[in-house]
Chain A
Amino acid sequence: MSELETRLLDRGPSAAAAPKTELPSHKWTMLIDLDKCTGCNACVVACHVENNVPIRSEREVIRGHGQHWIRIERYWEGEGEAQRATFLPMLCQQCSNAPCEPVCPVYASVHSERENLNLQVYNRCVGTRFCGNNCPYRARQFNWFAPQFEGPITEMLNPDVTVRSGGVMEKCTFCVQRIRRVEEDALVEGRPLRDGEMVPACAQTCPTSAIVFGDRSDPQSKVAQRLGGQREFQVLEHLGTAPNVYYLKAGGSDGGAG
Chain B
Amino acid sequence: MAEQASLESPVWNRPLPDDPELATQMREIREKHLLQDARPPRELAEKVLGPMARLGRVFWLAFIVLGGLTATWLVTWAYQAYQGMGVTGLNRTIMWAPYIVNFVYFIGIGHAGTFISAALRVLKFEWRAPISRAAESLTVFALLVAFTMPLIHMGRVWKFYWMLPFPNQRQLWPNPRSPIFWDMTAIFTYLTCSILFMYLGLLPDIAIAREKASGWRKRLYTVLALGWRGTDREWKHLDTTLNIFSYGIIPVMFSVHTVVSWDFAMTLQPGWNSTIFGPYFVVGALYSGVGAVIIIMAILRKALHLEYFLRDEHFNAMGKFLLILSFTWVYFYFNDYLLPWYHKEPILTVIFRLFSSGWAAPLWFTMLIANILVPWATLWSRRVRSSIPALVGVALLVQVGMYIERYLIVAVTLGYPELPFNWAVYVPRLPEILITLGVFAFVALGIAVLSRLVPIIPIWEVVEGQLLQGTRRIGRAIFPAKTEAD
Contacts and interface: CB of A to CB of B under 8 A. Distances in A.
A88 B419 CA distance: 10
A133 B178 contact: no
Nearest to A72: B421
A43 interface: no
Interface string A101-129: 01111110000000000000000111111
A74 interface: yes
B174 A105 contact: yes
Rank and list the top 5 A-B pairs by shortest CB-CB distance, nearest first: A127-B155, A64-B91, A167-B155, A144-B86, A73-B421
Interface in A45-76: 60, 63-67, 73-75
Contacts of A74: 421
A103 B272 CA distance: 14
A126 B159 contact: yes
B419 A136 contact: yes
B421 A88 contact: yes
A168 B156 contact: yes
Interface in B95-141: 95-96
A146 interface: yes
Interface in B406-424: 414, 417-422, 424
A103 B266 contact: yes
Interface residues of A, number: 46
From DSSP, what is the main secondary structure of chain B's interface residues?
Answer: loop
A103 B267 contact: yes
Interface in A78-96: 88, 90
Given A75-B421, A104-B175, A134-B268, A126 B95 contact: no
A236 B175 contact: no
Given A73-B419, A88-B421, A166-B155, A142 B177 contact: no
A11 B89 CA distance: 56
Interface string B155-179: 1110110110000000011110111
Given A75-B421, A133-B414, A168-B155, 17 more contacts: A64-B94, A88-B419, A103-B179, A106-B162, A124-B172, A125-B156, A126-B155, A127-B157, A132-B92, A136-B269, A137-B418, A138-B419, A142-B155, A143-B84, A144-B86, A167-B84, A167-B155
Nearest to A103: B178
B340 interface: no
B24 interface: no
Nearest to A241: B268
Choose among A102, A128, A137, A143 the residue with the greatest number of B CB atoms under 10 Å from its CB: A128
A127 B156 contact: yes
Contacts of B177: 102-103
Contacts of B179: 103, 130
Interface in B59-111: 83-86, 89-96
Nearest to B159: A126
B181 interface: yes
A141 B267 contact: no
Contacts of B160: 126
Contacts of A128: 150, 153-155, 163, 180
Choose among A102, A138, A168 the residue with the greatest number of B CB atoms under 10 Å from its CB: A138
Given A103-B178, A143-B84, A145-B83, A127 B154 contact: yes
A45 B294 CA distance: 58
A137 B86 contact: no
A137 B173 CA distance: 28
A64 B180 contact: no
A126 B163 contact: yes
A126 B178 contact: no
A235 B422 CA distance: 14
A47 to B, nearest CB: 16
A18 interface: no
B417 A138 contact: yes
Interface string A157-190: 0000000011111000000000000000000000
Contact of B86 (A65, A73, A133): A65
Contacts of A134: 267-269
Contact of B417 (A75, A136, A142): A136
Contacts of A63: 86, 89, 91
Nearest to B170: A124
B155 to A, nearest CB: 2
Contacts of B150: 128
A200 interface: no
A99 interface: yes
A105 B178 contact: yes
A125 B92 contact: no
Interface string B357-397: 00000000000000000000000000000000000000000
Interface string B400-442: 0000000000000010011111101000000000000000000
A106 B154 contact: no
A16 interface: no
Contact of A166 (B84, B91, B94, B418): B84
Nearest to A67: B92
Contacts of B419: 73, 88, 90, 136-138, 235-236
A50 B162 CA distance: 30
A139 B308 CA distance: 61
B92 A124 contact: no
Nearest to A110: B175
A107 B179 CA distance: 13
A239 B91 contact: no
Contacts of A241: 268
A107 B155 contact: no
B268 A99 contact: yes
B297 to A, nearest CB: 36
Contacts of B85: 127, 142, 144, 167
Given A88-B421, A90-B419, A138-B419, A167 B96 contact: no
A62 to B, nearest CB: 10
A64 B84 contact: no
Given A64-B424, A138-B419, A166-B84, A106 B175 contact: yes
Given A105-B181, A130-B178, A65 B92 contact: yes
A168 B150 CA distance: 15
Contacts of A88: 419, 421
Contacts of A64: 90-94, 424
A90 to B, nearest CB: 7
Contacts of B162: 106, 124, 126
Contact of A125 (B155, B266, B267): B155
Nearest to A239: B268
12 contacts: A63-B86, A99-B267, A104-B175, A107-B173, A107-B175, A124-B162, A124-B172, A126-B156, A126-B160, A130-B96, A130-B178, A130-B180
